[in-house]
Amino acid sequence: MSTMSELHAEHEEHHHAPRGLMRWVLTTNHKDIGSMYLWFSFTMFIVGGAMAMVIRAELFQPGLQLVDPNFFNQMTTVHGLIMVFGAVMPAFTGLANWLIPMMIGAPDMALPRMNNWSFWILPFAFSMLLASLFMEGGGPNFGWTFYAPLSTKYSPDSTALFVFAIHIMGISSIMGAINVIVTIMNLRAPGMTYMKLPLFVWTWFITAFLLIAVMPVLAGAVTMVLTDKYFGTSFFDAAGGGDPVLFQHIFWFFGHPEVYIMILPSFGIISAIIPAFSRKKLFGYSSMVYATASIAGLSFLVWAHHMFTTGMPVQAELFFMYCTMLISVPTGVKVFNWVATMWRGSITFETPMLFAIAFIVLFTIGGFSGLMLAITPVDFQYHDTYFVVAHFHYVLVTGAVFSIMAAAYYWLPKWTGKMYDEGLGRLHFWCSLISVNVLFFPMHFLGLSGMPRRIPDYALQFADVNAIVSIGGFAFGLSQFIFLYMVIKCIRSGEPAPAKPWEGSEGLEWDALPSPAPYHSFSTPPEVK
Amino acid sequence: MSFNLRPGVTAISEQVYDLHMTIFYICCVIGILVFSAMFWAIFHHRKSKGAVPAQFHESTKVEIIWTIIPFLILIGMAIPATKTLLAMEDPSDADLTIQVTGSQWKWHYKYFEHDLEFYSVLASDMEQVKGKLKKRDNYLLEVDHPLVLPVGKKVRFLMTSEDVIHSWWVPDFAVKKDANPGFINEAWTRIDKPGIYRGQCAELCGKDHGFMPIVVIAKPEDEYASWLAEQEAAYLAKQAAEQELVAMTMDQAELMELGEKVYLKSCAACHQPNGEGLPGVFPALKDSPIATGAVSQHIDVVVNGVPGTAMQAFGKQLGLKELAAVISYERNAWGNDTGDLVQAKDVVAVQNAAQ
């Protein structure tokens, strides 16, 4: 008697999949698309990183040596845009594509053809953004936050390209988010109730709702920039009845939830890795879910904490201060739960665990500076200085990027069917850990002693610390090539990996699938008890 | 370089500093507790030391405790923060009012109660920036006309902008407020100690955002009063001298010499010293229809600016003589060779026509 899975296997043999390049262009398979997202993200990480290197090289010494201030502004702008929309977000979408079907017992994502589209429009968006750098007048030079009226009245001609690129990125994100929600709601294996979902799935589920809520807001903001610049409207021009501060309200109503879009899936990743290498169940599963949801909810109420200096009624400043401070409570709960998971575990320190531990410590430091920034009267001093730059790089690099690295090491055996080189992994970890702190920690000092953000040149007192920061930057950039080499080596010549290479890992992807996972994850839905 | 915030020289800035330190210490204590627990686990609950994993994975009691305690700590932080904020945001009963107007890339100060206003521009020249001249001690933190304020008086600032958003920030006063085009923001300070205080524009405002410093000199009240009287007299004398200029005629050498100076100081940042501009960003003056076309149109652009573009109105920033010189220079430099010499009276004629 042939079972469903045998029938399916037979079907797969007769499956005439395109080969060569067209296999990737036309693919609707969640694993192919996940891999493409991850490779695309790494490419953008290197491109955006190269721009950061230009910035750090210019700031190595006081004075202008390498680039002119206009080009410097283009570098800071495009670096930010690429890292947010090209590196961090697609990396998480790649992980979602790879892992969500395997974690919930589904054969693929629910909307595979849309999945193909949501990936393939991205390279066009970023080609357009990068091409704008070569236009007359240069690329976008108004910061990744593109405040009006600098972006509406005083921007280069390439602003239209910038706006269209953002539109396409937003469409891609929304399609990805719809796919995640539909997959999680409809394709769970029998018995996989919501409160049994792995935390990575939960965090992505919540993130996807955030994305659908705020991406249209961003689309609205850029469209208004477009019409203000090219079609004579004056949404953000006081002379025509508009308000430049309105731009910031709209932008940050998108922008603040956006920073949680870039960190919530990290919480899911860390909540998978810490229990695995502590050989102990995650402490407080349900409070982790509630904490994630409350962080997401609060993220909509705090946008104006980016704008305390714009001039707001004092009542509004107080409201946004209190709400912002409140976010540290659920975030604290998460950190305490991770520490409690490690407590009295049986811990080992493979590379994913090293990155996860570094995540907890460094993300918490970013959280502390976030709490300091929430205090409005002091925020006047920190705002738009390097203190803020230090804060969000701790959250986004040693937070989001480190968690992505941890995820890559943790699931690489499942993806490739081969083990990575542990020695290279540890080398990558230690090089990254040391250099990233040399890079970002001294920025706190620069900010406190008065160095503003986004300046191509600075007063002489900041020279030594900037030199140290730049050295850290170059070292961190170079360290990432160890990672690239490690991944290539793993794919080409790694030792074969067992189905469950990590003793303490739990979940359908380890228990019910071989390594590498088959092309269609679950042809028969597994029973979850 | 100091590695921490400075306590500053006002009662508010000291409160802000204390608040900063309090929250920093609280964060340190929480950090030490959390990280110690974590590193204890890392050292003692290692598999290589034979640790056997415990089975617990939730405790409602513990989770409630570590939700409530941080909440109480936050209330403890919010109380002093609220007090300081309410004090900071009360600009009432000021002794004097200064209007601060930002534009790309200079500050304009206007003393509301007096006949005095002036522009304040970076004093470090581009040769220092490019490394051709030795950088002075206060490199990038020095201006040609610092703002002068009295010690011990409540000074109210009204912030606005002529083009993009700038942000007026002097760390020692703990004052940072955005200057938004078309709107007016308020802030205030009361300086305790005489001295020179330096700050910078803190909002990305375009290409030369990094070159927009702020210098405030705080003087004791009597010194401030005599400074003010002197400046007011000089300001009025200058206004009168401007009127006399209308009758005078300058020769080409004088116009070109002064014109070049003014051009390099006020125009070269955008249009470049060679008059070629930055393609796609700032238009060239060399062979441009404005600089080689009708004289009156050229004067109008320089005096009144071009609304909706980065070209500002220089009518108030420059004197009649400087305006005449720089326009003549633009019409005769870089091979423009129109031979047109513009005099102060030509500028006045255009100004009058506009009115």
Query: What's the pLDDT at B158?
Result: 97
Say whether pLDDT at A9 is over 90.
Answer: no
Q: In what order do the strands lie in the sheet with B175-179?
A: B147-150, B213-219, B195-201, B166-170, B175-179
Segment among A150-154, A454-458, B345-349 with least mean pLDDT: B345-349
State the catalytic residue, choosing from A8, A196, A453, A489.
Answer: A453
Q: Is A271 a catalytic residue?
A: yes
Q: Is A172 a catalytic residue?
A: yes
Give how far A493 is from chain B: nearest CA, Å: 29
Say whether pLDDT at B6 is over 80.
Answer: yes
Looking up tokens 């992994």 gives A425
Say whether pLDDT at A11 is over 80.
Answer: no
Dihedral angle computed from the Cα positions of residues A227, A233, A235 and A239, in that order, rounded to the nearest 10 degrees: 140
A387 confidence band (pLDDT: 50, 70, 90): very high
Instruction: Report the helix count and the strand count for chain A, using DSSP H and E.
Output: 20, 0
The answer to whether A278 contacts chain B (CB < 8 Å) is: yes
As a whole number of angstroms, the distance between CA A249 and CA A55 comes to: 28
CB pair distance less than 8 Å for B174 and A464: no
Give how far B290 is from chain A: nearest CA, Å: 20
Smallest Cβ–Cβ distance between B174 and the set A329, A380, A462 belongs to A380
Say whether pLDDT at A149 is over 50.
Answer: yes
CA atoms within 13 A on the CB side of A436: 26
- pLDDT digits 0-9 by tens, B115-148: 899 999 999 988 899 988 999 999 999 999 999 9
B317 confidence band (pLDDT: 50, 70, 90): confident
Confirm if A440 and A362 have CB atoms less than 8 A apart: no
CB pair distance less than 8 Å for B129 and A314: no
Q: If you write DSSP's letter for every residue of A376-412 in order, what string do you get?
A: HHHHHHHTTBHHHHHHHHHHIIIIIIHHHHHHHHHHH
- pLDDT digits 0-9 by tens, B190-243: 999 999 999 999 999 999 999 999 999 999 999 999 999 999 999 888 888 877
The answer to whether A489 contacts chain B (CB < 8 Å) is: no
Q: What is the token pair recorded at A355?
A: 């990155």
B266 confidence band (pLDDT: 50, 70, 90): confident
The answer to whether A244 contacts chain B (CB < 8 Å) is: yes
- Indicate if the alpha-carbon torsion angle A496, A500, A504, A507 is positive or negative: positive
What average pLDDT does the segment A353-372 reach? Answer: 97
The answer to whether A238 contacts chain B (CB < 8 Å) is: yes
Would you say how long chain A is, in residues?
A: 529
CB pair distance less than 8 Å for B202 and A245: no
As a whole number of angstroms, the distance between CA B137 and CA B142 comes to: 9
CB pair distance less than 8 Å for B77 and A136: no
What average pLDDT does the segment A455-478 reach? Answer: 97
Higher per-residue confidence, B340 vs A212: A212
Say whether pLDDT at A3 is over 80.
Answer: no
Give how far A107 is from chain B: nearest CA, Å: 31
Smallest Cβ–Cβ distance between A347 and the set B5, B42, B199 belongs to B42
Query: What's the pLDDT at B239?
Result: 82
Query: What's the pLDDT at B24?
Result: 97
Mean pLDDT of chain B: 92
Give how far A321 is from chain B: nearest CA, Å: 8
- CB atoms under 10 Å from CB of A392, counted, come to 18
Predicted-complex ipTM score: 0.92
Query: What's the pLDDT at A432?
Result: 98
- pLDDT digits 0-9 by tens, A262-294: 999 999 999 999 999 999 999 999 999 999 999
As a whole number of angstroms, the distance between CA B6 and CA B284 comes to: 44
CB pair distance less than 8 Å for A364 and B31: yes
CB pair distance less than 8 Å for B281 and A460: no
Query: What's the pLDDT at B7?
Result: 94
A369 confidence band (pLDDT: 50, 70, 90): very high
Query: What's the pLDDT at B1?
Result: 81
State the catalytic residue, choosing from A77, A158, A292, A331.
Answer: A331
Q: If you write DSSP's letter for every residue of B27-93 in order, what string do you get?
A: HHHHHHHHHHHHHHHHHHSBGGGT---------HHHHHHHHHHHHHHHHHHHHHHHHHHHHHT---S
Query: What's the pLDDT at B249?
Result: 85
Confirm if B73 and A326 have CB atoms less than 8 A apart: no
State how beta strands B96-103 and B106-111 pair: antiparallel
State the catalytic residue, choosing from A31, A56, A334, A393.
Answer: A334
Say whether pLDDT at A8 is over 80.
Answer: no
Query: What's the pLDDT at B243?
Result: 79
Chain A contact set for B203 (CB, 8 A): 147, 309, 384
As a whole number of angstroms, the distance between CA B78 and CA A311 comes to: 20
Say whether pLDDT at A19 is over 90.
Answer: no
- CB atoms under 10 Å from CB of B259, counted, come to 27
Query: What's the pLDDT at A16?
Result: 62
Q: Is A79 a catalytic residue?
A: yes
What burial letters (b/e) apply to A149-162, b meaning 16+ CB within 10 Å? Answer: bbbbbbbbebbbbb
What average pLDDT does the segment A477-481 reach? Answer: 97
- pLDDT digits 0-9 by tens, A79-107: 999 999 999 999 999 999 999 999 999 99
Query: What's the pLDDT at A15?
Result: 57
Q: Is A278 a catalytic residue?
A: no
Q: Is A173 a catalytic residue?
A: yes
Of chain A residues 216-235, which have a CB less than 8 A from chain B? none
Say whether pLDDT at B276 is over 80.
Answer: yes
Q: Is A256 a catalytic residue?
A: yes
This prediction has a pTM of 0.92
What average pLDDT does the segment A136-165 reach? Answer: 94
